[in-house]
Structure 1
Amino acid sequence: MQKPLLVTDFLDRAREYYGDSEAVVATTGDRYTYDELGERADRFSAALQARGIEKGDRVAVLDPNTHYHLEAAYGIMQLGAVHTPLNYRLTADDFEYILADAGVDAIYADHEYAAAVEAVRDDVPTETFVTNDPAAVDGDWEGFDALIDGAGTDYDRPEMSEDEVITINYTSGTTGDPKGVMRSHRCETLHAYLVTIHQRIADDDVYLWTLPMFHVNGWGHIFAVTGMGATHVCTRGVDAEWILETVVAEDVSYLCGAPAVLNLLIDHYREHDVPTSGANDVRIATAGSAPPEATIRTVEDEFGWYLTHVYGATETGPLVTTSDARRRFDDDSTDRFAVKKRQGLGFLGTEVRVVDEDGEDVPRDDETIGEVVVRGNQVMEGYWEQPEATEAAFSERAEGYYHMGDLATVDENGMITVQDRKKDIIVTGGENVSSIELEDTLFEHPAVSSVAVIPAPSDRWGEEPKAFVVPESGDPDAPGVAGEELIEFTRERLAGFKSLKRVEFVDTLPTTATGKIQKYELRAQEWEDEERMIGEG
């Protein structure tokens, strides 16, 4: 028997079995059951349908992690329309490009971000504009609550196929214009199943939304948490004091956070010695570059949280690997930190390989570097209206696999460890140097709060490693350590050719909305007077 895999099934299931259970703790202080969340989504569906939105139309959502985002997303998808979440840290020009590129017919935008859309509304195809506080927004915007209050709950849900596109998530556009990643009902559903299994999501979980919902549908948690009937605790941004208070007050059991978020929490904890959990045990997932061992140690040994390191990309669902391989470490042993720093093993049903330039698997020696390629049911259908880019993404080294652009090694157990992005590897004097390895080393120095290492121009070597360091003191003019001392620190711990060559102290590092450091901004700054970068980093 075959039953279509549809994203609408997640809310349908929660309403059927957990209708009177708490679904959402809103940023407004309101609390909604799954029956109430479902009714509000129904009303948004009816309102959109009355304004001409049909199956296949693109509808954008520009919102921090509030209950409105959840209601809008499901209201859109119940019509078979395409949920198109937007990064709220983008500019008006970015929104103009994406809204036009996707041909967005309607948008819901939080009042704090609607002004950037209002600035370009005459230049985009969008005709329906909805916000949660129209009095706070210039221009002609409908209010979300007034809209659904007057809409009723009746709408026509069309017949849908699991192979139809139901979400478009735009990439960050760090190497050109952002690309729309098309995802079908099927790949969203199977990814959510995998997240539920590997992140061990259960109906009694209380999930705190620190990870942006716009970021690949919040790693699929808008589906997985909902489908299991667990509780969403919404936020309007990342504030360390509020997060730790809320973990305790709402008995949070699960959250996600980039290494930068973990550092914010650790800094607040150390300054104020606050509790880190309520009635529930807490587990946290982190992704991107591996957090330093010192960070993992603090989160697990001092906070008492269980940390899992996961890995992926917008194009892959995102999640494709996990470090949560319990047979590979002892919970009471410090050896677990070395395992948790790895990106880890492939998810169920996911083929993760590390291949050389000929597309052949590299040996499992934990030394030979190749590119990570992935094949699985959670991988995208392709880029929106970009067939050539789609073909290139699946064919460079290994035909039929999505190419991650990350360089990694594989150990004897098949666990991968990302060494660098292809563009972040530093080629100095003909040797490849991992910026991640250097960053990890520098994080061990007590005067370093945050760091990014990039290739910098060198007359002698072509390029050489340079570190941008946020000092623990917070003051780049009084960092509490000399640059030469940090250089020597790396020289004592790494091979000579890998050691740091230059240091610049800064007060902040550029980051994405998900807390990932934007090295391309630092590279552009460092290489602006050069014709090209030797390693093309």
Structure 2
Amino acid sequence: MEVPLLVTDFLDRARKYYGDEEAIVATTGERFTYEEFGDRADRLSTVLQDRGIEKGDRVAVLDPNTHYQLESAYGIMQLGAVHTPLNYRLTPEDYEYLLSDSGTKAIIADYEYADKIEAIRDEVPTEIFITNDADEVEGDWEDFDDLIADVEPDYERPEMSEDDVITINYTSGTTGDPKGVMRTHRTESLHAQLVTIHHEITDDDVYLWTLPMFHVNGWGHIYAITGMGAKHVCTRGVDAEEIFQQINDEDVSFLCCAPTVLSMLDEYYEENDVSTEGDNPMRVTAAGAAPPESVIRTVEETFGWHFRQLYGATETGPLIGTSATRRLIDEDSEERFALKKRQGIAPLATEIEVVDDDGNEVPWDDESIGEILVRGNQVMEGYWEKPEETDEAFNDKREGWFHTGDLAVVNEKGMLSIQDREKDIIISGGENISSIELEDTLFDHEAVADVAVIPSPSEKWGETPKAFVVPSNDDPQNPPVSEDELTEFTRERLAGYKVVHRVEFVNSLPKTATGKIQKYELQEQEWDEEESMVGQG
């Protein structure tokens, strides 16, 4: 029997079997059962449909981890419209590009971020503007709660195919403009099932949202936690005191986070007398650059949590590697911390190979470096309206495989360990930052004659951008601009997490005979005291 895989099935199942069970603990203090969650999503579907939103229309959501994001996601997808979550840390200019590129017809924005949309609303194709607190927002915005209170939940759900695009998640724009990653009902459904299996999610789990929901749909937890009938605990940001408080008050059992969150919790624990668990045992998954082994040791031995590392990308769901391999890691061995920080092995129904420049798999000797390629049902449909980029991503070294651009070695058990990156990506606190974008920004300053930006090691963030600047007067000892002035220059033009805080003035940059900057030399110099040229935090 073949039954279409649809993302709407997740909330439908939860309502059918867990309707009276608590589904969401909201940041407002409100609590919603699955039936109440579903009713609010239905009413939003009605509101959007009454305003002309149809199957295939893009509807953007700009929201931190609140119940409005969850309700919006399902309210949009129930119409067959395309859920397009946006990073809430960007600038108005970024949103102008994203809304225009996707052709977004409606946006639902949190009151704290709506002003960024208001600043560019006349420049984008968006026609419908909804916020969760219209009284706090300048301009002509409709109020989410008022709208759903005024309608009955009687929308008409269209017929949908598992091959229909249902979400567009934008990359961080690390090699130029951000690309819209198209994901279908099928890819989202299967990646959520993989998350459920490999994160061992059950119906009695209590999941604390620290990972942004806009981030590849929160690694699938918008679907997985919902579909299993487990509980969402929402947050408006990442605060160590609040995380520990929620863990104890709500008996949290599971959270996913950037490695910097674990370092933050470690620091807070050292200075405060806090309980690390409620009534439920805790487990945690980190992604991006792995945290230091000392942090993993603290998480497991001091906090008493079970740790695992995840590897992936927006294009891949993201799950394409996990260290949740209990039979491959001896829990009584001292080497377990080094193994748990590796990017791990492929999940079910997924193929990973690390290949050389000719597309041949490298030996599993933990020394031979190659690019990570992946095939699996959770891999994207392609890039939104970018066929050439899509073709290159799937057919560069080997036809029909997604090329990650990440370089890794593989140990004798098949566990990945990322060593470096083919693309000029800086991963700071779990966020991808484009060195090209930073260089272009700094080049706009009249005192900058030449510049190269690379990742620099940071105890707090794992990596932070550092700019090597050739000053316009060719005198690095007395440049016509200060480091602080260049930092402020980037702050005025870029999202906060992209700001360049480290600047080194130099006479020249290392270049090839054709004039290409050899960033590898700068990276070797910057990371000379580190174990690898990948951030460990």
TM-score bracket relative to the smaller structure: 0.7 to 0.9
What does 1:141-152 correspond to in 2, within 5 Å? 141-152=141-152
Q: Which residue of 2 aligns with 1:347?
A: 347
Distance 2:375 2:257 in 1: 26
2:243 match: secondary structure: helix
> How far 1:339 moved relative to its partner?
1.1
How does the TM-score come out when normalised to structure 2? 0.83
Over aligned residues, Cα RMSD in angstroms? 2.7
Distance 1:335 1:179 in 2: 39
Distance 1:93 1:24 in 2: 33
What does 1:117-128 correspond to in 2, within 5 Å? 117-128=117-128
| 458 and 411 in structure 1: CA distance in 2 versus 1, 3 angstrom threshold | farther
Asked if residue 289 in structure 1 is aligned to residue 300 in structure 2, the reply is no
2:338 match: secondary structure: helix
Distance 2:505 2:192 in 1: 40
Distance 2:394 2:123 in 1: 34
Distance 1:224 1:15 in 2: 14
Structure 1 regions of 5+ residues with no counterpart?
427-434, 460-505
Q: Which residue of 1 aligns with 2:95?
A: 95
| 15 and 454 in structure 1: CA distance in 2 versus 1, 3 angstrom threshold | closer
> How far 1:355 moved relative to its partner?
0.2
> How far 1:453 moved relative to its partner?
7.6
Aligned-partner residue type, residue 53 of structure 1: I
| 535 and 359 in structure 1: CA distance in 2 versus 1, 3 angstrom threshold | farther
| 457 and 224 in structure 1: CA distance in 2 versus 1, 3 angstrom threshold | same
Q: Which residue of 2 aligns with 1:534?
A: 518
Residue in structure 1 matching 2:463, options 439, 443, 452: 452
> How far 1:262 moved relative to its partner?
0.6
Query: Paired residues, what number?
Result: 470
Aligned-partner residue type, residue 84 of structure 1: T
Aligned-partner residue type, residue 70 of structure 1: L
Asked if residue 240 in structure 1 is aligned to residue 240 in structure 2, the reply is yes
| 327 and 229 in structure 1: CA distance in 2 versus 1, 3 angstrom threshold | same
Q: Which residue of 1 aligns with 2:302?
A: 302
Once the two structures are superposed, residues 300-355 of structure 1 have per-residue CA deviations (whole angstroms, 9 ceiling, x without a partner) of: 00010101101000000011111011112222322211210110000100001100
Distance 1:347 1:524 in 2: 41
Aligned-partner residue type, residue 534 of structure 1: Q
How does the TM-score come out when normalised to structure 1? 0.83
| 449 and 116 in structure 1: CA distance in 2 versus 1, 3 angstrom threshold | closer
1:169 match: secondary structure: strand
Structure 2 regions of 5+ residues with no counterpart?
427-453, 471-486, 510-514, 524-537
Distance 2:148 2:303 in 1: 42
Aligned-partner residue type, residue 375 of structure 1: R
Asked if residue 26 in structure 1 is aligned to residue 26 in structure 2, the reply is yes
> How far 1:268 moved relative to its partner?
0.5
| 97 and 400 in structure 1: CA distance in 2 versus 1, 3 angstrom threshold | same
8 Å contact from structure 2 (residues 59, 106) kept in 1: yes
8 Å contact from structure 1 (residues 163, 185) kept in 2: yes
| 527 and 385 in structure 1: CA distance in 2 versus 1, 3 angstrom threshold | farther
Distance 2:425 2:52 in 1: 49
Q: Which residue of 2 aligns with 1:71?
A: 71
Q: Which residue of 2 aligns with 1:164?
A: 164
Q: Which residue of 2 aligns with 1:470?
A: none
Q: Which residue of 2 aligns with 1:109?
A: 109
| 86 and 321 in structure 1: CA distance in 2 versus 1, 3 angstrom threshold | same
| 192 and 425 in structure 1: CA distance in 2 versus 1, 3 angstrom threshold | closer
Aligned-partner residue type, residue 71 of structure 2: E
8 Å contact from structure 2 (residues 287, 311) kept in 1: yes
What does 1:363-512 correspond to in 2, within 5 Å? 363-423=363-423, 449=460, 451-452=462-463
8 Å contact from structure 1 (residues 84, 167) kept in 2: yes
Aligned-partner residue type, residue 233 of structure 1: V
Aligned-partner residue type, residue 262 of structure 2: L
Which range moved further: 448-457 or 34-43?
448-457
Distance 1:127 1:451 in 2: 40
| 386 and 370 in structure 1: CA distance in 2 versus 1, 3 angstrom threshold | same
Aligned-partner residue type, residue 299 of structure 2: V
Distance 2:505 2:190 in 1: 42
Once the two structures are superposed, residues 168-222 of structure 1 have per-residue CA deviations (whole angstroms, 9 ceiling, x without a partner) of: 0001112211110000000000000000000000000000000000000001100
> How far 1:424 moved relative to its partner?
5.6
